[in-house]
Structure 1
Amino acid sequence: MNVHDLNGEHAEDVNYRLVRIFGICLGILVLTYSVLALRLFIDRGEYHPVDLLLISTRVLLGAATLLALLHPRIERLCVRQIGQMSTLFEEGYSRTSDGEKIRFIVLVTMAGLLLELVMIRWLASVFPVFSFFKNFTLLACFLGLGAGYAVADKQRCAPALVLPMLALFVAIITLLRYDVGADTGFFSALPMLEQTSISIWMDRLDWLTLLVQSAPLYLLLATSFILCACICYPVGQLGGKLLHSAPALKAYSLNLLGSILGVAALFVMSLFWLPPVIWFTAIAGILLFFVLSQDARQPVGIASFCLLIVVLSWPVQPEIQRLYSPYQLLERMTKPDGLMNILSGGSYYQKVFNLPESNRGHESEEDRYVRAYYEFPFNFKKKPERVAIVGAGSGNDVAAALRMGASHVDAIEIDPAIVYLGKNNHPEHPYDDPRVTVIVNDARNFFRTTHQQYDLIIYGVLDSHTALSHASNLRVDSYVYTREGITEAFKLLKPDGVISISFALPNESLGYKLSHILQGIPGAGKPLSVRVRYDSSTTTAFVTQKGRDVVMPANSEFAAFGFENVSEHFAQPYPEASIPTDDWPFFYMISRTYPVSYMIALGMVMLLSYMFVRRTIGLNGPIERSYLPFFFLGSGFMLVETKAITELGLHLGGTWFVIAATIILVLVMAFLANLLVQRKPLQRTGYAYFGLLASLVVGYFYARNHDLVVFSSPLASLIASCVLLTIPMFFSGIVFSSLISRAGINISTALSYNLMGALFGGLMEYNSMYFGFAFLYLLAAGFYFLAWVFSWNPAGVPALRLSAIIGPRLVPKGRGSTR
């Protein structure tokens, strides 16, 4: 299919095709919802009048969806309305002054990036599977924005489609999660064998069973991928159209400025734990009251906005308090005993107990067991002077330390919302005790920066339910459980100090990893492994002591509670390659193996991307050589950005603040590079490419050995690390800006190639799950080298055919020479 010109005979049909694709995918989800609701109704076996009314409504919703998709009259109506929508917008756009268009570049880019980040956060908070596949949503947004940029000046634009599509998508996902998803396990599993989680056990299945049980999840992932791309497509199309209202370098500066503002906006909203209704209101407000303020179809946008607000504000589970922390959705419930229970992503996360000293000796059997578990580490260090608790959570471990006579407790918790819940809902009020210092920080960063020495360091039952934004295959505690991370904690112990690590093992391999890390720490005695069975039959405590072996306490009560010494079991040989390190921090992977499960999902991404591009852009004809550097620059950029986030997360802590600051720093580097090129254009990019590749080589060796750059001042070391990790972005920014300033280069097409390259780089990022994160530098260097090769003067080199290189045809032949 060829891309029609703006004045082509059927140009408006492209927007209808987009809506048609969106309608089909949305219809699949609606029908899935109706079928699940009907099945649950039949399985329940109780047919009350209210239930009959509700199920009738749900079934009618599915029938209405089928009718809308199949009825020719509805199709003709949609074609006419969408055609009028795009025509009216183009007429209004032609009357917009250049000054307004330039201002709109910042606003639309800001809205686009904010939409991307909000979709990633919101979907991950609704369905756990998106927490483990966050790149799925990111890549979908890249696809939609990139495709939109590609056709910005070739097809009529209909940005008024964004809000209706967004409102319908949010509505059906909400229904699936809170109406039928709460009563079925169809969408709560994890379609992978290589990784584990406390609440998800699919790593124990064989491949055939895994694929069968994962079918609903793959359906959800696939349809959501296309729906997100459809929503972002008009935003990219409008953004690309606006870029042509200013010189290329100035337009790109405004584009980067809008991106920085988009990240900053989500940063502010995360700072105040604002809920999704505020996130989406910010996006809709920008589109409605600025971009579409003169659009004749604004009433459609207002109605869609109202639907969006109603859906997001509806009290789907009024008995649950929801807090949107910077990391995850926390849901506070009440246990039968009146105490707090916390869910994360719909799964059990934490609960509090009331175990004051006054209750000792006359409490229930369950409470006696829980007390024995929390006080178990203090059998190895009586009345410690100073205790550090990693993953302090809502305060159970802190309360136990205070009961056992600790003189001072440092409570380290990364999530401020969990600390807030603990302060307000724990019956023993441990965080109000003057002996306790609450530290909201990443545990690894705390251990690197503290100057304290400890008698006892306790790791609570940590298990991350969410992955880091823009680093989807890492969890917030990934660097806590590496060999280097635990060794750093061990060095903070006083003589005879003790470390106790408790973990609910979803797979025995995680226990082998912890045991072998403790065995290999210089100066540590033989560790003890005890099956304590708290919350899970596999929960195990791993204890090591500085300078002496650890032995099981002679306490008959422990045997009565089922505490079992399993030290010999976990002391068995285990592959050294599967032990997590700072370069390969994948503690939750069962073994170091290529992530086939991820490759299945990412293969689905490539197939869906091909189909989406074919329907919206077209793939006939040659790929123009002069735009290929932008594709490879995008691939390299995505990999280096990922490495910068993970590396700075290692140095500064994997907190949301560090992630946001790193993304902004990366964008600032590109902005500064663009300003430099604006003031002093480069005729040749060879020097910039050399600097880029040299900085990647330095970054690679630095990632392999962090002792290469060490200063006496921590601040100097921090600055040096930030420069080393982001300077490649500065050089790549110089190259990118120099290329788009060349005569004949279409900036929206260049950005389209760049985003498609970023999509491909996002797919390649998963190689780190086998080769480690330092490998991303080598992979990025290869992409940047290809960009250098294709940046050479293409005289005499024919255009490449689609069969030679996989990628979308974004420009007509002969356009955009770099000579």
Structure 2
Amino acid sequence: MSILKRLFKSYKFQIFITSSLILYLELALIRFIPAYVRYLGYFTNIILLGVFLGIGLGCLLAKKRLNFFILFAPLLLLLILLVTYFKFEIGISTLQVIYFKSNTEDQIVESFVMLPSIFLVITLIFITLAQKLGQLLSRISPLIAYKFDIIGSIFGILLFSLSSILKLPPIIWFATCGGLFLLLLLNRKIAAIFSVIILLISFWFVLKLDRPGSIWSPYYQIYSYSVSNPLREAGKIDNHWRLYVNNISHQEMTQYEQAAQFYKLVYETFPQAQFKQALIVGAGSGQDVNVAIKNNVQKITAVEIDPVIANMGRKLHPDNPYADKKVQVVINDARSFLENTDKKYDLVIFALPDSAVLATSMSNLRLESYLFTAEAFSQVKKHLSENGTFVLYNYYRTPWLIDKIALMLQTSFGQKPFISRYEDNLAVFITGPKTVNLKNSAKLSLWQQTEKLPVATDNWPFLYLQDIFIPNIYLKTLIIISSIALGLYVLIERKKSFVGFSGDFFFLGAAFLLIETKSVVNFNLLFGSTWFVNSLVFVGMLLSVLIAIWINQKYTIKNLAWPSFLLLVILGLNYLIPLEKFLLPNFWIRYIVSIVFFFSPILLANIIFSNLFKKSKNAAENFGANTLGAFFGGMFEYMALLLGYHNLILIAVIFYCLAFIFVLKRLKASYA
């Protein structure tokens, strides 16, 4: 037998490939679906919950005679057909939370119908893959199997990160998934041929769906449209371009004379001002930068999180502002930039910074969430010069959001902001030291509070929520997907249902998901909400898991009391020590201290899990229970809307205590 054949028949290699495929496909779907099913850009954790549920249920099916692995390709085709055929706006009839939509005339489908449909198909897709994984986990030592599962997961993340760096389109993502899947079917020729045919049909629909000329940045599908000449090809000179992200009109690029009046308001308000240093946050394709240049701002720092959008500005903007020597373009998360710079600015502009996606699939944070908190506004105040000005403008969609931002500005600056209101809830805020002697005018007036609203903070960074509560749309969605989950679980387990429930593995999974979520949120705040930071965090977590596995392989841990005690102690310290204590001035010291402190609970939790899994007699079922626990914990992540992210630690502690009760029960049963 050749070395290659032996490799493909190796259970370790098959676990590695299966886990790589699961992680890569998960990340691909989180990027692909929201580009077309637009509101899923704000519900990407629904995709993640579907993945967790599918993995958990699939592992429970490991011992079943029916093999569902061959259904992977047809189910993937079904999902792509759903996205291709409907290509819709999901209708959300709620005023409790704000979503940005495209104003297209595409088909409207109510969210309580389509979101569960997509959730169900995603769950079924990952059931097919996880059944295979569960079968493999049971064929070799559980701890060795778990090690190769984690190595495969790391490889899947790195592979998709490479796809993001290279700006590869979805056809390459799905072709990669298809290739990994077919590696697991090498010994089943008929099944492989059938799958190839179905996959090729799927790829055709993916190609048909992708708009010609679009570019896939690490955050969005992006394409340009010439307003003045719709037949104009991207890259050709024109005087009015519009950028679309995830099929939503997002930015304009025009000559200065055609720029909207609200861009120019601050310069008209202070016509004699000399703005020597300006910081433009959310600089995008350069429209705000161009206005600043034309109004004689001497030096401009333009911060933009998406490198593709900034590059399109360089290529397409008719006035080419990014080529001006006055301008320094910084590709970074704006909050991270503010935390790490010591410069003072005469003018800071938040230039229409809103996003069409969440910062991470692990939370309800949008890319701009940490820009719109009381602490972020205080950071801006810290970076203003003695006579500095802070300006914000956007289409805020509803009057209460305008009032909420004004209240936050008053809280951070200690003075009421001036405001100019336009049609469609467009508003411009101006505040800072320079406005102290400013008078009301025809265009600007001092804001007057009309209602009491909660201030968004780093702990509760939910700008687009009108109050501290869980909106009905989320509650309805969670009830529906919980019903789907329970129905599938009962269907799979039937009479067995909750008999032999692995409570220790289940609650360890639930707690771990919340700790993982809190860690991601912490790193978003400390280092920025960029895709690169998120990739590093996930890889770092998985490396912590590998260290825990190595510890359990090298040492025999007979008593789990000490890692359990240390885990609870460190979680207590996580709760008691304010996050701002980790905002150390030196980046690398902050990075090392943060990794050691925030990854310690992950390491300790996985020392406990790996120790239990090492002794497991039903590896697939226990792994499935752990992943179902992660699904359960993922639904509790919505409690952050009520309690803030910091208090998720308390819920995690409760789950760990429940897990330890089941661990004691398991130990007593083993000694009986």
TM tier, shorter chain? over 0.9
Q: Tell me the CA shift for residue 765 of structure 1.
A: 0.3
- Aligned counterpart, 1:173: 83
User: CA deviation digits over 1:477-500, x for unaligned, max 9?
Assistant: 000010000110111111111000
- After superposition, the Cα gap between the structure-2 partners of 1:341 and 1:622, relative to the gap in structure 1 and judged at 3 Å, is closer
| 2:185 maps to 1:295 | no
Query: 2:318, 2:495 → 1: CA distance?
Result: 64
Which amino acid in structure 1 is aligned with residue 43 of structure 2? F
| Paired residues of 1:192 and 1:598 also in contact (CA < 8 A) | no
User: CA deviation digits over 1:786-810, x for unaligned, max 9?
Assistant: 111110044777xxxxxxxxxxxxx
- Aligned counterpart, 1:305: 199
Query: 2:58, 2:65 → 1: CA distance?
Result: 9
Q: 2:265 aligns with which of 376, 387, 396?
A: 376
- Residue 510 of structure 2 aligns to a residue whose secondary structure is helix
- After superposition, the Cα gap between the structure-2 partners of 1:770 and 1:621, relative to the gap in structure 1 and judged at 3 Å, is closer
- After superposition, the Cα gap between the structure-2 partners of 1:573 and 1:191, relative to the gap in structure 1 and judged at 3 Å, is closer
- Aligned counterpart, 1:784: 656
Query: 2:495, 2:546 → 1: CA distance?
Result: 32
| Paired residues of 2:417 and 2:447 also in contact (CA < 8 A) | no
Which amino acid in structure 2 is aligned with residue 344 of structure 1? V
Query: 1:579, 1:335 → 2: CA distance?
Result: 39
Query: 2:415, 2:644 → 1: CA distance?
Result: 30
| Paired residues of 1:526 and 1:550 also in contact (CA < 8 A) | no
Q: Tell me the CA shift for residue 685 of structure 1.
A: 1.1
Query: 2:322, 2:47 → 1: CA distance?
Result: 38
Query: 1:550, 1:597 → 2: CA distance?
Result: 45
- Aligned counterpart, 1:334: 226
- After superposition, the Cα gap between the structure-2 partners of 1:668 and 1:315, relative to the gap in structure 1 and judged at 3 Å, is closer
- After superposition, the Cα gap between the structure-2 partners of 1:389 and 1:373, relative to the gap in structure 1 and judged at 3 Å, is same
Which amino acid in structure 2 is aligned with residue 342 of structure 1? L
Deviates more, 1:472-481 or 1:609-618: 609-618
- Residue 394 of structure 2 aligns to a residue whose secondary structure is strand
- After superposition, the Cα gap between the structure-2 partners of 1:795 and 1:656, relative to the gap in structure 1 and judged at 3 Å, is closer
- Residue 773 of structure 1 aligns to a residue whose secondary structure is coil
Which amino acid in structure 2 is aligned with residue 567 of structure 1? L
Which amino acid in structure 1 is aligned with residue 115 of structure 2? L
Q: Tell me the CA shift for residue 529 of structure 1.
A: 1.0
Which amino acid in structure 1 is aligned with residue 606 of structure 2? G
Q: 1:666 aligns with which of 541, 554, 559?
A: 541
Query: 2:605, 2:507 → 1: CA distance?
Result: 11
Query: 2:450, 2:321 → 1: CA distance?
Result: 39
- Aligned counterpart, 1:135: 45
CA RMSD of aligned residues (A): 2.3
| Paired residues of 1:455 and 1:498 also in contact (CA < 8 A) | yes
User: CA deviation digits over 1:591-625, x for unaligned, max 9?
Assistant: 22233321110000100111222333335354325
Query: 1:144, 1:242 → 2: CA distance?
Result: 16
User: CA deviation digits over 1:762-804, x for unaligned, max 9?
Assistant: 100000011100011001111011111110044777xxxxxxx
Q: 1:527 aligns with which of 413, 417, 435?
A: 417
For residues 238-317 of structure 1, the aligned pairs below 5 Å read 238-288=132-182, 290-296=183-189, 297-314=191-208, 317=211
- After superposition, the Cα gap between the structure-2 partners of 1:794 and 1:537, relative to the gap in structure 1 and judged at 3 Å, is closer
Query: 2:461, 2:12 → 1: CA distance?
Result: 44
| 2:381 maps to 1:509 | no
Which amino acid in structure 2 is aligned with residue 334 of structure 1? S
- After superposition, the Cα gap between the structure-2 partners of 1:568 and 1:489, relative to the gap in structure 1 and judged at 3 Å, is closer
| 2:592 maps to 1:698 | no
Query: 1:231, 1:262 → 2: CA distance?
Result: 17
| Paired residues of 2:582 and 2:590 also in contact (CA < 8 A) | yes
For residues 492-503 of structure 1, the aligned pairs below 5 Å read 492-503=383-394
User: CA deviation digits over 1:188-229, x for unaligned, max 9?
Assistant: 43354421134389xxxxxxxxxxx98632221111111111
| 2:452 maps to 1:542 | no
For residues 185-196 of structure 1, the aligned pairs below 5 Å read 187-196=89-98
- Aligned counterpart, 2:233: none
Q: 2:343 aligns with which of 440, 448, 452?
A: 452
| Paired residues of 2:459 and 2:645 also in contact (CA < 8 A) | yes
- Aligned counterpart, 1:353: 254
Q: 1:399 aligns with which of 290, 293, 317?
A: 290
- Aligned counterpart, 1:441: 332
User: CA deviation digits over 1:240-279, x for unaligned, max 9?
Assistant: 1111232111111101111111111111111122111111
Q: Tell me the CA shift for residue 453 of structure 1.
A: 1.0
Query: 2:162, 2:321 → 1: CA distance?
Result: 30
TM-score, structure 2 length as denominator?
0.93
User: CA deviation digits over 1:535-593, x for unaligned, max 9?
Assistant: x5211111112265252586xxxx5xxx4x35344x34524xx1000000001111222
Which amino acid in structure 1 is aligned with residue 633 of structure 2? G
Percent identical residues: 26
| Paired residues of 1:470 and 1:642 also in contact (CA < 8 A) | no
- Residue 261 of structure 1 aligns to a residue whose secondary structure is helix
Query: 2:465, 2:102 → 1: CA distance?
Result: 13
Aligned residue pairs, count = 653
User: CA deviation digits over 1:672-731, x for unaligned, max 9?
Assistant: 1111011002112111111111111111123xx234456564422232122222211100
Q: 1:751 aligns with which of 620, 623, 630?
A: 623
Which amino acid in structure 1 is aligned with residue 608 of structure 2? V
For residues 484-633 of structure 1, the aligned pairs below 5 Å read 484-522=375-413, 525-531=415-421, 533=422, 536-546=423-433, 548-549=435-436, 551=438, 559=442, 563=443, 565-569=444-448, 571-572=449-450, 574-575=452-453, 578-618=454-494, 620=496, 622-624=498-500, 627-633=502-508
Query: 1:676, 1:592 → 2: CA distance?
Result: 43
Q: 2:642 aligns with which of 766, 770, 787?
A: 770
- After superposition, the Cα gap between the structure-2 partners of 1:540 and 1:613, relative to the gap in structure 1 and judged at 3 Å, is same
Which runs of 5 or more residues in structure 2 are unaligned? 230-237
Query: 1:745, 1:566 → 2: CA distance?
Result: 71
Q: Which has the larger radius of gyration?
A: 1
- Residue 467 of structure 1 aligns to a residue whose secondary structure is coil
For residues 24-173 of structure 1, the aligned pairs below 5 Å read 100-173=10-83
| 2:102 maps to 1:223 | no
Query: 2:303, 2:7 → 1: CA distance?
Result: 54
- Residue 592 of structure 2 aligns to a residue whose secondary structure is helix
Q: Tell me the CA shift for residue 330 of structure 1.
A: 1.9
Which amino acid in structure 2 is aligned with residue 544 of structure 1? T
| 2:597 maps to 1:715 | no
Which amino acid in structure 1 is aligned with residue 464 of structure 2? Y
| Paired residues of 1:648 and 1:722 also in contact (CA < 8 A) | no
- After superposition, the Cα gap between the structure-2 partners of 1:219 and 1:306, relative to the gap in structure 1 and judged at 3 Å, is same
Query: 1:688, 1:499 → 2: CA distance?
Result: 49
Query: 1:161, 1:622 → 2: CA distance?
Result: 27
| Paired residues of 1:387 and 1:457 also in contact (CA < 8 A) | yes
Which amino acid in structure 2 is aligned with residue 725 of structure 1? F
| Paired residues of 1:281 and 1:309 also in contact (CA < 8 A) | yes
User: CA deviation digits over 1:163-206, x for unaligned, max 9?
Assistant: 122123212321211xxx4xxxxx343354421134389xxxxx
Query: 1:170, 1:474 → 2: CA distance?
Result: 26
User: CA deviation digits over 1:482-523, x for unaligned, max 9?
Assistant: 00001101111111110001121112222122212222235x
TM-score, structure 1 length as denominator?
0.76
